[in-house]
Chains A and B, each alone.
Chain A
Amino acid sequence: LAGPPSPPGQDPHGWRVPVDCVRANELCAAEPSCSSRYRTLRQCLAGRDRNTMLANKECQAALEVLQESPLYDCRCKRGMKKELQCLQIYWSIHLGLTEGEEFYEASPYEPVTSRLSDIFRLASIFSGMDPATNSKSNHCLDAAKACNLNDNCKRLRSGYISTCSREISATEPCSRRKCHKALRQFFDRVPSEYTYRLLFCSCKDQACAERRRQTIVPSCSYEDKEKPNCLDLRNTCRTDHLCRSRLADFHTNCQASFQSLTSCPGDNYQACLGSYAGLIGFDMTPNYVDASPTSITISPWCSCKGSGNMEEECEKFLRDFTENPCLRNAIQAFGNGTDVNLAP
């Protein structure tokens, strides 16, 4: 879902709009000085931390040249062609520079400029009704119906459901890898007016909340025999470029902030919900922990047991899911069909 078109080279905040990393890489490759510095920097970063790297004259020089090149500010788009390649280029520069041990990492994705209200407008066109109607209706059931009436949504939804519920053997209830892949396809290729309605529908009873919890087929995509430690899980996620990027995006867009009315960065609910949905189908897949209709608790499949001296850090990480006012407000606002009205 594209936002309103912005003037070329400018985003609404007046910053330079970054070029995507695949394109930036092409631009750099066409220029001999840039491409040789890029190669040098990649060699500098391989296996060394920021400080050792900065101590080296040649590396320092390469960095200075690259700071002026489009590679330095490049970003990627969710679901773009060659997304993985784009992210590989992004992290090849940023991994060594951001230490790789920071608690929060900056998102490699472009900022989301569209708003929840855009989705509501579209949703009410195709469903022919106001999203916040009838208090008796089961919104999660309505969402499933709406999806089934759309060929693309129906096909990809039944695709992931059948993949995720196919039993392989008595000890292996499903292929988690294939299930995750099918879920990623669903959330990448189906417009968010369908996927968000399924994920964030509001509920008044347990049956509805259970349906909401079951949306991603948690027995296969979420639950596991053992609950790993959250920091361990984060580590696993960070070894994968896609998972790392989606997690960084979640932290950028859903990190609770005291400086806004909604607790969300820039009061942008859409951006937070989008990066939440972007985590589904990776090691850090989040879900509703129970079928409580009103008190919403979200968590990835991990706990802080066995954290040793890192318990504080682990709990801080987990709280960004379980006790995050921005995420909770965003989910509730979507369920209620309310968005913040911001003066432009």
Chain B
Amino acid sequence: AAAFGLYFPRKEYSENVYIDQPAGTPLLRIHALRDSHGEVAHFHLCQNLIISRARSHENHWFQIREKTGLLYLSKSLNREDFNMLSVGNWMPLSKVMLYVFLSSHPFQEKECDSATRTTVFLSLMNATAPACSSLTARQLCFTEMDLSFHIKENKPPGTFHQLQLPSVHHLCQNLSISYKLLAAEGMPFRYNENTTGVSVTQRLDREERERYELIAKCTVREGFREMQVEVPFLVNVLDEDDSPPFLPNGTDTADAVVEFNRKEGTVLATLTVYDADTTPIYPLESSRKKYTGTIITDDPWISETFRVEHIFDEIHFSPNGSQVRGTQHEYKLVLNKSISVTEHRSFQLDVLVNDTEFHGPERSVMLHFNVSILPVSIQFPNMTYQFTVNRNAERFAQIGKICIENCMKFRGVNISYKLLSPNVSCYPVSILQGREGKWGSLYVNDSSVLHRPECKEIQYTIQATDKQSRKHTKTLLTVVLEGTLLKKEEDCPDSCAVSKHRAECEECGGLGVLTGRCQWRQGSGKGITTNYSTCTPSIKTCPDGTCDVIESKDPAVCPQDCTSGNIIGGHGKGTGNLGIKSGHGICYCFPRQNCYCEKDDIKEQLCDEMCKTVI
């Protein structure tokens, strides 16, 4: 790390300034802590007063003692000055801000661009200094700002605060104000009663303890009256990179197997590295650069095919009862591109993790991944496929799925399925590619063929091809036609989804039906539910919440899964605004038009036994 040099233990200081306070009035005391022994602090003010909303003024009133850090009024602030400084401040309270800079050598030029600075907020009070008797004990003892400090670990001890307020001490000399630091036993801090200074007595270690909570107690005596105030006094220890990376349980090796999942972006294995130091996730990129993970290899194929992803997270260690923050770094071995199904090799891949800001010999650890890339075979299971199809099935009826071995486990492998046309005229079915190139869906493409008596048993050859390697495999498919042709009902719509009642649903057919008749799904009937009542070509595939490749061929097949039109009545839409995910009562659709979900109040049993006999 770069040498920190001197630094301020507080980011901000505050004090009130009153009209007509005399020149020479001390305002507040600023401290600096050292990076190394022998450094001497020099304080310097930037000669600009910054007022809220960016107006700035030259500073004529405030000065700081270069050696002691005492900020004082060098010129009385009269009402005219006050009015001038208040313009532009539209909040009721006027504040001016000034920067105090710090250097280890006397300031040559009065520049104000040093990185080490602290901010002083001076509240301009529209009144003359108050009488001491009108001030509360809280106001006499402490400023409004929290007593909160930060001290860097591994730095020499020193004084970092003065409890006594110089302005109050100057103003109220007849009051006795004394301080104490409570809960300081056993802590590395000391209070000096003579100077009211608080110092840190030894080098701190953040990995031991990162927060100290003390109490500052103030006693004000005026004659026989005594008042006491207590406020929290907090010290945070700032971290530097002084711990090397280490392996939890000594684990530096992990297996990484590539088999069915060969897709770019797949995480193959993860190894963890701990560090007792904190790592800010903000800004993220710079922290990533400080803790690198590099694949060590000469093989261009390995460096093209794999990458290492680094994520880190805050964890807690408890070195001696108190919790301190640390970091868990995870290095993930990731596929940088999809791997061909024919690839077959094994090797060890080494990743060098480097804590670049740690200055010590153990700044890096080596991680090992045992990588095995197994080939996968493109083949059908031993059996041949046989499907039976009812002669009354309609176009887009789903017959079944075709899948090579382990096809559902594949990722990053794209298989295409195709029917090699048989040498006969009976050709009722086709195949469509399922999602992600895993399986093929077999469906009726030409229902008129099903009606022809000469077509009974049809033999096909199916070919599955891996798109990347062009490897392919074949199997036989037999389609057996069965059942007798039913007479078609007159006046039936071509979509099952149009039917609103069970009776009309079950006596009609429609696109996509398997046996010539639509199927009725009876819902639970409670409110808006995914289990709504509806008429569908096949309960197995529609509605199932996904608009599959066959359903999407024609909007009349399953509008319940595929509609993008209006849905009237209580409903919830499906993924991507497609289909009816949930509905109220019965949902029915007119393809290419609206869908309706409504509670059906008309009882289906309009005509009971009595009525039938009368007719």
| Chain A residues at the B interface, C-beta cutoff of 8 Å | 11, 13, 15, 51-52, 54-55, 67, 72-73, 93-94, 97-98, 106, 111, 166-170, 229, 231-232, 235, 252, 258-259, 265-266, 305-313
Contact = CB atoms under 8 A, between A and B. Distances in A.
Interface string B294-319: 00000000000000000011100000
A305 B281 CA distance: 8
A313 B282 CA distance: 13
Interface stretch (B90-98, B189-197, B415-423): B90-98
23 contacts: A11-B90, A15-B90, A51-B113, A67-B55, A72-B55, A98-B54, A106-B52, A166-B573, A168-B575, A168-B576, A229-B282, A231-B282, A232-B281, A232-B283, A235-B283, A305-B281, A306-B278, A307-B280, A309-B150, A309-B239, A309-B280, A311-B236, A312-B148
B90 A169 contact: no
Contacts of B11: 313
A310 B239 contact: no
Contact of B280 (A166, A252, A310): A310
B577 interface: yes
Contacts of B365: none
B147 interface: no
Contacts of A259: 93
Find the residue from B46, B87, B314 having the highest chain A CB count within 10 A: B314
Interface string B44-59: 0010100011111000
Given A51-B112, A167-B575, A308 B239 contact: yes
A54 B238 contact: no
B242 to A, nearest CB: 13
Of the listed residues B54, B278, B314, the one surrounded by the most CB atoms of chain A closer than 10 A to its CB is: B54
Contacts of A266: 91-92
Contacts of B46: 51
Contact of B279 (A15, A72, A308): A308
B91 A306 contact: no
Contacts of A311: 236, 325
A275 B282 CA distance: 26
Interface in B49-89: 52-56, 87-88
Contacts of A168: 575-577
> Top 8 closest A-B pairs, CB basis?
A308-B280, A306-B281, A97-B54, A232-B282, A51-B113, A308-B278, A229-B282, A306-B314
B280 A306 contact: yes
B569 to A, nearest CB: 16
Given A167-B575, A310-B280, A111 B144 contact: no
Q: Which of A11, A93, A232 has the most CB of B within 10 A?
A: A232
A229 B281 contact: yes
A15 B239 CA distance: 46
A54 B92 contact: no
Interface string B122-147: 00000000000000000000001000
A106 B50 CA distance: 12
Contacts of B314: 305-306
A67 B58 CA distance: 14
B91, B113, B284, B573: residue with the most chain A Cβ atoms closer than 10 Å = B91
A310 B281 CA distance: 10
A190 B251 CA distance: 59
Contact of A54 (B48, B239, B283, B325): B48
Contacts of B88: 73
Contact of B282 (A169, A170, A307): A307
A306 B282 contact: yes
B281 A73 contact: no
Nearest to A312: B236
B323 to A, nearest CB: 13
A30 to B, nearest CB: 23
A306 B313 contact: yes
Contacts of B55: 67, 72
Contacts of B54: 72, 93-94, 97-98, 106
Contact of A258 (B113, B144, B279): B144
Interface in B19-48: 46, 48
Nearest to B148: A312
Contacts of A13: 90, 92
Nearest to B93: A259
Nearest to B234: A312
A260 B560 CA distance: 61
Given A258-B144, A306-B314, A169 B576 contact: yes
B281 A167 contact: no
A308 B280 CA distance: 4
Contacts of A52: 113
Contacts of A231: 282
B150 A310 contact: no
Nearest to B46: A51
Nearest to A234: B282
Contact of B53 (A55, A94, A170, A306): A94
A169 B577 CA distance: 8
A72 to B, nearest CB: 7
Contacts of B90: 11, 13, 15, 111
B92 A306 contact: no
Central interface residue in A111, A229, A306, by most chain B CB within 10 Å: A306
Contacts of B282: 229, 231-232, 235, 306-308, 310
Interface string B568-580: 0000011111000
A166 B578 CA distance: 11
A13 B53 CA distance: 17
A167 B280 contact: no
Given A259-B93, A306-B278, A307-B280, 8 more contacts: A55-B113, A231-B282, A265-B91, A306-B282, A307-B278, A310-B282, A311-B325, A313-B11
A300 B283 CA distance: 19
A311 B150 CA distance: 11
Nearest to A51: B113
A310 B238 CA distance: 9
A73 B53 contact: yes
Contacts of A94: 53-54
A111 B573 CA distance: 44
Contacts of A166: 573, 577
Contacts of A305: 281, 313-314
A308 B325 CA distance: 9
Nearest to A314: B282
Given A13-B90, A67-B55, A258-B144, A312 B281 contact: no
Contacts of A265: 91-92
A305 B325 CA distance: 9
A309 B88 CA distance: 35
A72 B91 CA distance: 17
B234 to A, nearest CB: 9
A312 B93 contact: no
A235 B148 CA distance: 24
B108 to A, nearest CB: 15
Interface string B524-568: 000000000000000000000000000000000000000000000
A73 B54 CA distance: 9
A169 B148 CA distance: 48
A5 B206 CA distance: 58
A167 B576 contact: yes
A312 B150 contact: yes
A232 B281 CA distance: 8
A37 B312 CA distance: 48
Nearest to A304: B314
B532 to A, nearest CB: 18
Contacts of A258: 144
Contacts of B56: 97
